Structures are given as C-alpha cells and as structure tokens.
C-alpha cells in the first residue's frame, strides 16, 4: 500500500481563494482592504525570497502589502520605532517581522513590542497565552496549516495519539496546543527524548519538526499513520546542486504511512496561506466584524 499524498499546494490555493473572496466582498461593500506589513532586516537570501513571496500573495488576494526592508546594521531601537509606527498605522492589520533577526537585535523584545491584535505570526506572549487557555487568538501559521493538512487525510483527529518531534515556540509547542484542541492525546518529543523510534511508532499522527534532513524513517512510523513533515532542509545533490528535503525520509515512509505531506509542496505553502487568513481575521476583529 502507498500513502495518500497530502497536497499542500492545492489546499493552500483553496484557502487563498476563500480569503480572496472575502476580501473582494469587503471592498465591494466600500470597506478598506486589509493590510499586511512585513519587516525584513538585512539581506539573508532565504528571507528575501520569503518576503517577496508573501508580498506577491498578499496583493494576489486583494490585500494591501507594506514592506519595510531595513539594512543589516539597523539597531534594535530603530526596529522598535518601525514596529511602533506600524502599530499606530490604521491601514495595517497584520505585522510580521521576518525571523531570524541579526544577532545584535533581541527578537523576543521585538515580538513583545508588536500590538497583539496585529500579531499575525501568533508569537506574542498574549496570543501564546490565549491559545493555551483556549481563548480566541491569532494562531501561529505553520502549526495551523499542519492541522488543516492532517484533517485533509479524511480522519477525525479526536482520540488520536499525536507525537510531535520538536518543541520550538514557532512549531512544536503551538502544534501541541492546537492538537489538544482537536482532542488528540499529545506527546511532545525533543532532543533528550529516550527511544524516539519506539515513541513515534505509537503515533497515529506524527509531526516532524526537528530540522534534520531525512531523520525519521521507516522505523519511526506505524502502518497507516498520518505523517506531517514540517522540515525544510537544503541538501547537496550528486550533480553539485542542492534540493529541499523534509525531516522525514519520504521514500522509506511512503509505503508504510496512511497519508504523508511531501517536501516541497506540503506544509510550506500552507504557512503563507494561513498568514493571509490570519491577516483577514485580525482585520475583521479590529473592525468589529464577525471573524
Ligand atoms: P528549532 O531548531 O527551533 O527546533 C527544533 C526542535 O527539534 C527542538 O525542540 C529540538 O529539541 C528538536 N530536535 C532536534 N534534534 C532532535 C533529535 N535528534 N531528536 C528529537 N528532537 C530533536 O526548529 P523549528 O521548530 O524552528 O523548525 C523545525 C523545522 O521546521 C526546520 O527544518 C525548519 O526549517 C522547518 N520550518 C518549516 C516551516 C514551514 O513553513 N514549512 C516554518 C517553520 C519551520 P531541543 O528543544 O531539545 O533542542
């Protein structure tokens, strides 16, 4: 048997389409369009590509895109001033500061300076707390996309044993909260976990978010499990080029799993689509409209 391939590109396109339709209805009713501001500090090539993609897709769904590209030597104070300006700008509903930031800047202080109602990454402690308390919050985009993909496998997630490998603030921890909300029984594994293969073998839903190419293989997967691969790793190829691979050894796992996300084309596209959805949610809440 071969696993169902969960097509993140197609699901992300559906989500963008839905967001686009809602934005079109708002502007047709003479309301202003939602606005997303992305701040990039420095010239990291991968970040430049992400920021460019985000801007393009923001405009494609009919939203306004604001970009602030700041030089590498920007000080924390200067960045905090830009965040304060965007917090105060009524045209801006979502603020995303692209990570990683240069080492001289304290990312936690910058995240805490973002108005929580505009924190479309869902990283502000207020949104983190609201998520864990089960209150309405802006939810981190990547884990939200993972839940949507897992549901696409056609399964009711309630009662499933979900094993998340990775406990970062960006992926693993919010993933655990979202899966608890789905009534999964959740285990979070990390670099100090003992007998990782044995633990993963118990998972009905396995989320790989550790940042190690092809780390999880056939020995980690229970037959029929749903496998969501968050990892994005660039590896060298035999012809001297590079390619993107996940944290899961896709070829080894595909004959065992019930459903699996590919890399690229799985979780990655969902992240940006969820960012646009979060921007719309932030707009609706700020405008006092049902979200
Ligand atoms: P981090 O480096 O912040 O966290 C990695 C986590 O994996 C840590 O909790 C770490 O444990 C754990 N880990 C590392 N090695 C092992 C191991 N051998 N066994 C078990 N656990 C281990 O990574 P991120 O969460 O930021 O990202 C994870 C991956 O997801 C990366 O490949 C990243 O590129 C990708 N990513 C993809 C996104 C997308 O849009 N698709 C968005 C965000 C990230 P410990 O805490 O003990 O150190």
Please check whether residues 92 and 179 belong to one and the same domain: no
Mean local confidence (pLDDT), 271-289: 97
Tell me which residue has its CA closest to atom 6 in ligand 1. 166
What is residue 55's predicted lDDT score, i.e. its pLDDT?
A: 97
Structure tokens at 88: 């105060």
Give the position of tokens 């960012």. Answer: 275
Tell me: do 158 and 195 sit in the same domain.
yes
Q: Are 263 and 232 in contact (CB under 8 A)?
A: yes
Confidence band (pLDDT; 50, 70, 90) for 44? Answer: very high
What number is the average pLDDT over the span 16-25? 98
d(CA 175, CA 187): 11
- Quick one: average pLDDT of 3-23? 98
Region for 106 from its dihedrals, namely left if φ exceeds 0, alpha if ψ lies in -120 to 50, beta otherwise: beta
The band of 120, judged by pLDDT with boundaries at 50, 70 and 90, is very high
Q: Measure the CA dihedral 126/47/144/211, to 10°.
A: -100
pLDDT at 203: 98
Query: Stretch 235-261: mean pLDDT, rounded?
Result: 97
Dihedral sign, Cα of residue 95, residue 64, residue 136, residue 121: negative
Q: Which atom of ligand 1 is nearest to the CA of 211?
A: 32
Mean pLDDT in the chain? 97
- So what's the pLDDT on residue 70? 98
Whether 1 has a pLDDT exceeding 80, the answer reads no
36 and 110 share a domain?
yes
Residue 275 CA to residue 94 CA, distance in Å, equals 9
Backbone angles phi, psi at 273, to 5 degrees: -60, -40
For residue 158, give its domain range: 141-269
Distances in Å between the alpha carbon of 52 and those of 59, 66, 99? Answer: 11, 11, 14
- Active-site positions read 54, 98, 121
Q: How far apart are CA 96 and CA 108, in angstroms?
A: 13
pLDDT in tens, 92-119: 999 999 999 999 999 999 999 999 999 9
DSSP 190-232: -TT-SSHHHHHTT-SEEEE-S--TT-B-GGG--TT-EEEE---
For residue 260, the CA-to-ligand 1 centroid distance in Å is 18
Q: Does residue 99 share a domain with residue 195?
A: no
Q: Which atom of ligand 1 is nearest to the CA of 267?
A: 41
Are 96 and 183 within one domain? Answer: no
212 Cα: distance to centroid of ligand 1 (angstroms) = 8
The pTM (predicted TM-score) of the whole model is: 0.97
| 49, 198, 211, best to mutate for ligand 1 pocket (most atoms within 8 Å of CB) | 211
Q: What is the pLDDT of residue 155?
A: 80
The count of structural domains within the chain is: 2
Same domain for 192 and 145?
A: yes
Read off the pLDDT band of 235 (50, 70, 90).
very high
* Contact present, 205 and 184 (Cβ < 8 Å): yes
Residues 250, 153, single domain; the answer is yes
- Percent of the chain predicted with pLDDT > 90: 98
- Closest C-alpha residue for ligand 1 atom 42: 142
Whether residue 28 contacts residue 84, with contact meaning beta carbons closer than 8 Å, is answered with no
Domain co-membership, 152 together with 254? yes
pLDDT computed for residue 91 by the predictor:
98
**What is the CA(92)–ligand 1 centre distance, in A?**
31
pLDDT category at 154 given cuts 50, 70, 90 is confident
């Amino acid at each position: 048997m071969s696993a169902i391939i969960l097509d993140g590109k197609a699901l992300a396109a559906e989500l963008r389409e839905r967001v686009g339709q809602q934005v079109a209805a708002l502007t047709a009713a003479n309301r202003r369009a939602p606005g997303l501001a992305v701040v990039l500090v420095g010239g990291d090539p991968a970040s430049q590509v992400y920021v460019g993609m985000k801007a393009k897709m923001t405009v494609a769904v009919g939203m306004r895109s604001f970009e602030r590209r700041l030089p590498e030597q920007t000080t924390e104070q200067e960045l905090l001033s830009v965040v304060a300006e965007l917090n105060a700008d009524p045209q801006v509903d979502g603020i995303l500061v692209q990570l990683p930031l240069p080492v001289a800047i304290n990312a936690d202080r910058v995240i805490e300076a973002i108005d929580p109602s505009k924190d479309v990454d869902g990283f502000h402690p207020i949104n983190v707390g609201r998520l864990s308390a089960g209150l309405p919050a802006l939810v981190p985009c990547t884990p939200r996309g993972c839940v949507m993909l897992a549901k696409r496998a056609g399964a009711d997630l309630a009662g499933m044993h979900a094993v998340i490998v990775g406990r970062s603030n960006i992926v693993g921890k919010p993933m655990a909260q979202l899966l608890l909300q789905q009534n999964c029984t959740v285990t979070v594994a990390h670099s100090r976990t003992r007998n990782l293969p044995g633990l993963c073998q118990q998972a009905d839903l396995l989320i790989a978010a550790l940042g190690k190419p092809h780390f999880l293989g056939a020995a980690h997967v229970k037959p029929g499990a749903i496998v969501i691969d968050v990892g994005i790793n660039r590896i060298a190829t035999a012809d001297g080029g590079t390619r993107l691979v996940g944290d899961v050894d896709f070829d080894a796992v595909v004959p065992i799993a019930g459903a699996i996300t590919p890399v690229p084309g799985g979780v990655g596209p969902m992240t940006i689509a969820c960012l646009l959805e979060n921007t719309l949610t932030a707009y609706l809440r700020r405008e006092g409209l049902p979200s």
